[in-house]
Amino acid sequence: MPVLPMQLEAAIHAVQAAGEVILPYFRTELQVETKADQSPVTAADRAAEQVIVETLQSQFPDYGFLGEEFGEQAGNTDARWIIDPIDGTKNFIRGIPYFATLLALEESGDITHGVIYAPAEQTLFYAAKGFGAFTNGHQPLEVSSIDELSQAMLVHGGLDILRQGGYWDGFTRLIDATARQRGFGDYFAHTFVFRGQAEVMVEADVKPWDLAPLKIIAEEAGGRFTDFTGQPTIYGGNALVSNRHVHAEVLKLLGPISGTS
C-alpha cells in the first residue's frame, strides 16, 4: 500500500475514532432532538464531531472547522476541515446500518482530501487530489464507462425532496431517459457511482458537509461532480454525481426549476 498523504492519513484516523464513539449508541434507546431545520440530532452526532475536532486540532492547529453540529470554529478559513459526524442520522436512529462519518479538507475553496467511513459496515472510502480514490484495502475506485443514458442506472436521494425543490419535471425526464432507477439516499447512493455500479446520482436540499468528501472521491474515481446548474461546487444546495460520460445530457434534462407538480 502506498504512503498516504499526511492530511488523508489524519482524516482516516479521525473518522475511525468517530466510529468508535458512534457505534456504542447504535441500536440503543436514543434521545432524539429536533434542530431548527427540522433535522434530527443525537448525542452520538455531537460526540463524533467533537472527537474529530480534537483529533485533528492537535496535528493541524491552524486549520479551521465547519461542522454540521457546531458550525464554523476558529481557525484558518483558507484551510478547513468540513465535518458531517453522522450522514444518515435518520437511518442511524432507526437501526439501519447505512450511515457514515464524512470528512473533507477544503483548501483555498477547493476540496483536496475526502474520507467516508461507515462504521456499522466498516467500509471506508478515501481520496486526495492527484492521488486517486480507494475503498477498503486500497482497492481503486473507478466509475463506469457507460456513455449512453439509455443504458444508465439512476439513483436518487428522495422523491419528495426533489418534488418540493421544484425539480420534478426534470427528474421525470431523467427517469424516462435512463434504464433503471433506485432510491438509496445519503452518502450510500453516491458510492454506487464511485464503484461503477450506477452512472447518475441526483440529490437536493443538501448542505456543504453532506457533499464535501463526495466531490473529491467522485472526481478522483474518474467521475464528475456539480450542482444542478453545472457548477462544481458543494455550496449549490443540490448535487449531481455521474461517471462524467452522461453528465452533460443529465444537466440538460434536469433543466431549470419549473415549480412543483
Annotated binding site: 68, 84, 86-87, 210
- Let me know if residue 261 belongs to a domain: no
**pLDDT tens column, 136-170:** 999 999 999 999 999 999 999 889 999 999 999 99
Contacts of 134 (CB under 8 A, 6+ apart): 125, 126, 127, 140, 141
Same domain, 214 and 132: no
Same domain membership, residue 159 and residue 43? no
- The CATH code of the domain that includes 21 is 3.30.540.10
Number of domains within the chain: 2
**What percent of the chain is helix, strand and coil (3-state, nearest 5)?**
35, 30, 35
Claim to verify: residue 180 and residue 58 sit in the same structural domain: no
Question: CA nearest 112: which of 23, 231, 219?
Answer: 219
Bridge partners of 124, per DSSP, are 117
Q: What is the pTM of this model?
A: 0.94
pLDDT on residue 236: 97
Within 13 Å of residue 78, how many CA atoms lie on the same side as its CB? 2
In a domain, 260, yes or no: no
- CA nearest to 124, candidates 103, 144, 146, 110: 103
- The parent domain of residue 181 ranges over 149-254
CA-based angle 106:111:117, to the nearest 5?
A: 95
Residues 124 and 168 in one domain: no
Structural domain includes residue 94: yes
Please check whether residues 124 and 29 belong to one and the same domain.
Answer: yes
Pairing of strands 63-67, 180-183: unpaired
Among candidate residues 171, 177, 125, the one with its CA nearest the CA of residue 152: 177
Same domain as 214, residue 111: no
Residue 204's CATH number: 3.40.190.80
Query: Which residue positions form the known binding site for Mg(2+)?
Result: 68, 84, 86-87, 210
**Domain annotation covers residue 13:** yes
Q: What is the pLDDT of residues 9-55, one digit of tens each?
A: 999 999 999 999 999 999 999 899 888 888 889 999 999 999 999 99
